[in-house]
A = this chain, B = another copy of it.
Amino acid sequence: MAALDRSLISRLPLFQGMAPEEQSEILRSARSSRYAKDSWIFEQDTDAHSFFVLIAGHIRVVRTTPDGQQVIARYISEGEIFGVAAALGRTTYPASAVAAVDCVVLAWPNGLWPELARRFPTFGATTYRTVGNRLQETQTRVVEMSTEQVEQRVAHALLRLANQTGRKTESGIEIDFPISRQDIAEMTGTTLHTVSRLLTKWEENGIIVSGRQKVTVKDAHRLVVLSENRTKG
């Protein structure tokens, strides 16, 4: 396999603060893979062998319950690190990672984590900052699920997707990968039927436009209002 080019990662925040030759060096121990849409990068509860950086595409992180129900933990965007079981002293992955579209991924063997974190302190620190953000995000989700109505939760979820992975088009902010009503339901703890009804209503009101596996936010401001609109208090 040819050596990987530094340009793959030099623009990513995760590798900022590393000298060019360091970037090349860290790449020497990485291997690059492609994953077709809907294929698994790793599976929940299996032995954690590697950690990853997403170079291109979008990844869905999914938890599956013993009785087969799925919950989407989060989406990973380009440049993000994921599958960091090693950094947290775990031996298995707590969730599965699925390619939401065709993806390109870099992988490092878990055994290299301690050495890499030691040799490139900002790399370690950035990773832990990411973990901290995810912990906080996840707790925010618990709070939302505890205190908000379904409509507010779906509005929040769309806003988050638009912010994290939205692509500005002339007609609004388009979510950058195929996402079904079922997916949105699994992010918000509701059913695809309820999501469908909400999106239909919002489309009638001009807040969004949506199609099959596609959502574009046209009026983020009104969505914010909806997401904050407490009916009880």
Using a CB–CB distance below 8 Å, which chain A residues touch chain B? Answer: 63, 65, 67, 69, 71, 73, 85, 87-90, 94-95, 125-126, 128-129, 131-132, 134-136, 138-143, 145-147, 186, 188-189, 230, 233
In the complex, are the beta carbons of B128 and A138 less than 8 A apart? Answer: no
Secondary structure class of chain A's binding surface, majority of residues: helix
Question: Are the CB atoms of B142 and A138 closer together than 8 Å?
Answer: yes
**Beta-carbon nearest neighbor of A190 in chain B:** B146
Q: For A65, A73, A140, A142, which residue has the most chain B Cβ atoms within 10 angstroms?
A: A142
A-B contact pairs, 10 of them (CB 8 A): A65-B147, A71-B143, A88-B135, A94-B136, A131-B131, A131-B132, A142-B142, A142-B145, A142-B189, A145-B189
Q: Given contacts A65-B147, A131-B132, A142-B142, could you give 5 more A-B pairs where the C-beta distance is less than 8 Å?
A: A88-B131, A89-B126, A90-B132, A138-B139, A145-B145
Task: Quote the shortest CB–CB distance from A164 to chain B (angstroms).
Answer: 17
- Give Cα A131–Cα B96 distance, bound, in whole angstroms: 19
Residue on B nearest A68 in the bound complex, by CB: B233
Closest chain B residue to A85 by CB distance? Answer: B132
- Please give, as numbers and ranges, the residues of chain B lying within 8 Å of A147 by CB-CB distance: 65, 69, 71, 189
Cβ contacts under 8 Å, A88 to chain B: 128-129, 131-132, 135
In the complex, A128 Cα to B89 Cα: how many Å? 7
* Other-chain contact of A143, B65, B85, B233 (Cβ < 8 Å): B65
